[in-house]
Amino acid sequence: LAGSLSLTAVYGLSCSLGVFSLGSAIGNLIDRSPRLLAARTSLVMQNGLVSVCAVIVCLILSGLVTAQAAAAFEAAKALVVATALLAQLASVALKICVSKDWIVAICGSDKELLATATAHLRRIDLSCQVLAPLLFGMVTTFVSPLASAITVACWNLVSMCVEWTLLGHIYASVPRLAEKNQPAEAAQQDADVLVEDANDDAAPAAAPAAAPAADSRLRTRIVGQIRDQVAGWQLYFRQPVFCAGLALSSLYLTVLGFDNVTTGYVYSQAVPAAVLSGCLAVSAVFGLLGTLLFPALRSRFGLLSSGQTGFVLQALSLLPCVLSVFAPGSPFDLTAAPPVQQINVTQPQFTELMLFTFDVGGAAGGNGTDGSGGDRPSSYASVALLLAGIVVSRTGLWLADLSITQLFLETVPERERGRVYGVQESLNQLLDLAKFGLVAALPLVTQFGLLVCLSYAAICCGGCLHLLQIFRSRSRSRTDSADSRSLTKRLLTACCPSSAASLPVNPPLQSPMYLDTIPTDGAV
């Protein structure tokens, strides 16, 4: 695998396509399943498959499966991608179960508690994102990659048992988790399946004419699955907050984060690995700051205002990234001819996991001796501005993410949560795929500036979509308020004309549950 990025690329593409294609179906299955069963099944599949994937990697690293045995080696690589893909799908299911459904049932109608719990979950997530790579990176560096793979396998098995127990304890402690409203159409589909199965059992076993009927039933079920997928997307776009969901998805169409694309670019600018690791740690601190600000801003200014503040903060913080395209030391040059050279992976534990498709100028003979992979630029001003903007923008990113997540948690009905969140995951992966498509179309380091500008435009579009959500919500609030006043006045006119005459023409607006950004001291 050394020197090749094909496995990394295939894995990323497979996961994105898998989640995009099956996100709605996963959510629909969660909606139709008991909460504890869905969560535990997702947990076992996720941790178990990660352990299996780690065991296969152990076989490769230990030399039991080598490149000389071509068939076995290719089969091992295919199994790694397949198990990782299934584990990713199970991870999406577990995320929907716990952080999108269970948390709402546990908090009930207490919106303050829901906001605080959501922020706590995100802090735990951010902390794990920092500590896990640090821990396993230390094991890989100071012991061996084989020891790291064994640690991953054992850790997932042990944590699976702990999480299994904790899920059961939480489920038993909160009676509301046992109460779940199943969608009416899902119940009807289950009944139809039971009827079909009963008819199959009652049919003659050896009837030759049964084959066409079986094919017809198979086609019917396939068509039914396709209709479920379409219905899930239609349901998503019927939600009153779908514009906010589109705004959240736009944050995935960006290279302005510490993903494999940006990391590859930073290494090409001869930035030491230690510096990049420090930036990752500081960015996590700024992300945690966003989770700390969210409950306070939500209580003071409202949910939608908090989300818009997050988008504004992110846009302002990322301005240095746009300036970095034109700063001293920037390799941005659209007239440069593509270099004909191969990527030399000098640090497999970092670059093979992080580089994606850049043709790195100077990487084949990089003179960096401190963990960097490219020639030193004339100035570090450009890459410094890029890293500074990305680090500081984490506060606005997580503030916007938490606000939109809370908005969905408060508004999506219980019977529709799985499908709606499944479609949201599909949208996220679709735009993530679009990002890698842009990278494939603009693979040169000299073209990275275009990716930065397109990413900034996508984030600004997200802010505009969130602003559109605010306008739509205010318009809906005014319409609902006017309809309510009209109905009240007609009823009072019929029952008591004198009381109806004393009603004010324009009473103050009352904001609904999620619309706490509308002023309540003015007339319509």
pLDDT at 511: 40
Is residue 128 a part of any domain in this protein? yes
**CA torsion angle 88 86 14 352 (round to 10):** 60
Is residue 424 a part of any domain in this protein? yes
Pair 43, 141 in one domain? yes
Q: Which domain does 436 fall in, by range?
A: 226-332+379-472
pLDDT at 2: 44
How far, in Å, CA of 61 to CA of 55, rounded?
A: 10
Pair 126, 241 in one domain? no
How far, in Å, CA of 346 to CA of 264, rounded?
A: 12
Pair 136, 246 in one domain? no
The token pair at 521 is: 């001291």
Out of 119, 153, 177, pick the residue that ends a domain.
177
Residue 267 CA, distance from chain mean position: 26
Is residue 464 a part of any domain in this protein? yes
Pair 84, 156 in one domain? yes
Q: Are 31 and 181 in contact (CB under 8 A)?
A: no
How far, in Å, CA of 315 to CA of 327, rounded?
A: 19
Closest CA to 246 of 415, 423, 502: 423
Pair 124, 239 in one domain? no
Q: Are 473 and 514 in contact (CB under 8 A)?
A: yes
Pair 433, 318 in one domain? yes
Pair 324, 453 in one domain? yes
375 DSSP assignment: P
What's the structural domain count of the chain? 2
pLDDT at 440: 82
Is residue 204 a part of any domain in this protein? no
Is residue 501 a part of any domain in this protein? no
Pair 153, 77 in one domain? yes
Which residue type, as a one-letter code, is found at position 10? V
Q: How far is CA 30 from CA 25, 108, 445, in A?
A: 9, 19, 43
Pair 406, 294 in one domain? yes
Closest CA to 357 of 2, 1, 4: 4
Pair 126, 256 in one domain? no
The burial of 467, by beta-carbon neighbours within 10 Å (0-12 exposed, 13-18 middle, 19 or more buried), is given as: middle
How far, in Å, CA of 202 to CA of 200, rounded?
A: 5
Pair 173, 238 in one domain? no
Which residue type, as a one-letter code, is found at position 361? G
**Triad 128, 130, 133: Cα angle to 5°:** 95
pLDDT at 366: 43
Out of 431, 449, 472, pick the residue that ends a domain.
472
Is residue 26 a part of any domain in this protein? no
pLDDT tens per residue across all 524 residues of the chain: 444 445 666 777 788 888 888 888 899 899 889 999 999 999 999 999 999 999 998 888 888 877 667 788 888 888 988 998 999 999 999 999 998 899 999 998 888 898 889 889 888 888 887 788 778 778 887 888 888 889 999 999 999 999 999 999 999 999 989 887 766 554 455 444 444 444 544 444 444 555 566 667 777 777 877 888 888 899 999 999 999 999 999 999 999 998 878 888 888 888 887 788 888 889 988 999 999 999 999 989 889 999 999 999 999 999 999 999 999 998 888 876 655 433 333 333 333 333 333 444 333 334 444 445 556 778 899 999 999 999 999 999 999 999 999 999 989 988 888 899 999 999 999 998 888 888 888 888 888 999 999 999 999 999 999 999 999 888 876 665 555 555 445 555 655 555 445 544 444 433 444 444 444 344 32
At 359 the three-state DSSP class reads strand
The token pair at 388 is: 């500074």
Out of 177, 203, 236, pick the residue that ends a domain.
177
Q: Are 243 and 411 in contact (CB under 8 A)?
A: no
Give the predicted TM-score (pTM) of the model. 0.75
Is residue 350 a part of any domain in this protein? no
How far, in Å, CA of 211 to CA of 391, rounded?
A: 61
pLDDT at 197: 46
What is the CATH number for 435?
1.20.1250.20
Is residue 171 a part of any domain in this protein? yes
Residue 102 CA, distance from chain mean position: 18
pLDDT at 403: 94
pLDDT at 16: 84
Pair 242, 170 in one domain? no
Q: Are 261 and 448 in contact (CB under 8 A)?
A: no
How far, in Å, CA of 127 to CA of 284, rounded?
A: 7
How far, in Å, CA of 175 to CA of 157, rounded?
A: 28
How far, in Å, CA of 303 to CA of 516, rounded?
A: 6
